[in-house]
Amino acid sequence: MHTGRIHSIETFGTLDGPGIRFVLFLQGCALQCRYCHNPDSWDASAGQPRTVEEVLAEIEPYVDDYKSSGGGITVTGGEPTLQAPFVAELFRECKKRWGLHTALDSSGFCDPHHAEALLAATDLVLLDLKYMDSEGHRRLTTQPNERILAFARHLSRRGIPMWVRRVLVPELTDHAADLLELGRFLAGLRTVEKVEVLPYHRMGVFKWQQLGRSYSLEGCREPDAKEVERAVDWIERGRREGAAAEQKRLARLYE
């Protein structure tokens, strides 16, 4: 039985997948996003060690609520694929014992082969595509994005449903050209069920202060509803353009 390093637990989550969900936050992340609201989850050696059986005991009292609401379990972080064998076993047990729906909330910064057993037990991936320009992505997160885009393509080829997310930070991740590019990229994926634009918020800023880290987005404001709507429009426009380009390409093949 595997042991995971746990950051925290939420028993009635409604934001990370369909229905009411048990949300498990794990320790460890290889990115350092400038807007991260859980910087205390970065250190892979911190948190509480718990076995799969101990986590299952936390889930059990609420299983009926999760099932009747069309919910399930979501594992997030930090980056949950860093503890892939633990999460794979947890998901397999949730399915075997209760038939629970399983969702993985990931940055996608992961070698798909490392996560194969985990993906085999995953019903839905909530995938953050933070920025399409790789250099801009590195400035935002400390890492380039090629590996993340490859992970998204792998999920598509494997037929795993995705909800794609973009955190909208004014003047950082809201550039029209990058949102268009995101839409075009999504048009090439077969299993995107939903695209969510999540407005940047400042609720985790105090954690940066507590950890003695300097917060580079000091003074950054939260976007308003109109800005979020505009971002959704740019992404949808990119998806239409991408789909039209793909149709043209296929038509040429059959000419």
The one-character DSSP state at 221 is: P
Neighbours of 223 (CB within 10 A): 23
As a whole number of angstroms, the distance between CA 235 and CA 179 comes to 5
As a whole number of angstroms, the distance between CA 8 and CA 177 comes to 37
Residue 237 CB, nearest approach to ligand SF4 (Å): 26
As a whole number of angstroms, the distance between CA 190 and CA 182 comes to 14
| Residue of the chain from 38, 69, 134, 191 that contacts ligand SF4 (CB under 6 A) | 38
User: Each residue of 75-100: b (16+ CB within 10 Å) or e?
Assistant: bbbbbbbbbbebbbbbbbbbbeebeb
| First-to-last C-alpha distance (Å) of the chain | 57
- What are the structure tokens assigned to 65, written together? 């609520």
| Residue of the chain from 6, 20, 24, 33 that contacts ligand SF4 (CB under 6 A) | 33
In degrees rounded to 5, what are phi and psi of residue 50? -140, 140
Binding region for ligand SF4 (CB under 6 A) out of 18-26, 75-83, 224-232, 240-248:
75-83
Please tell me whether residue 129 binds ligand SF4 under the rule CB under 6 A. no
Binding region for ligand SF4 (CB under 6 A) out of 27-35, 96-104, 184-192, 247-255:
27-35
Please tell me whether residue 31 binds ligand SF4 under the rule CB under 6 A. yes
Binding region for ligand SF4 (CB under 6 A) out of 72-80, 115-123, 189-197, 236-244:
72-80
The one-character DSSP state at 223 is: P
| Residue of the chain from 29, 55, 121, 126 that contacts ligand SF4 (CB under 6 A) | 29
Closer to ligand SF4 at the Cβ: 14 or 32?
A: 32
> What SS3 state is found at 36?
coil
Please tell me whether residue 79 binds ligand SF4 under the rule CB under 6 A. yes
Please tell me whether residue 173 binds ligand SF4 under the rule CB under 6 A. no
Residue 224 CB, nearest approach to ligand SF4 (Å): 22
Closer to ligand SF4 at the Cβ: 28 or 112?
A: 28
Binding region for ligand SF4 (CB under 6 A) out of 32-40, 59-67, 111-119, 210-218:
32-40
Please tell me whether residue 32 binds ligand SF4 under the rule CB under 6 A. yes
Please tell me whether residue 8 binds ligand SF4 under the rule CB under 6 A. no
**Which residues, 6 or more positions from 219, have their beta carbon under 8 angstroms from its beta carbon?**
none
Count the site residues for ligand SF4 by CB under 6 A.
11
**Which residues, 6 or more positions from 213, have their beta carbon under 8 angstroms from its beta carbon?**
39
| Residue of the chain from 6, 36, 84, 132 that contacts ligand SF4 (CB under 6 A) | 36
> What SS3 state is found at 23?
strand
Q: Which residues bind ligand SF4 (CB under 6 A)?
A: 29, 31-33, 36, 38, 41, 77-79, 107
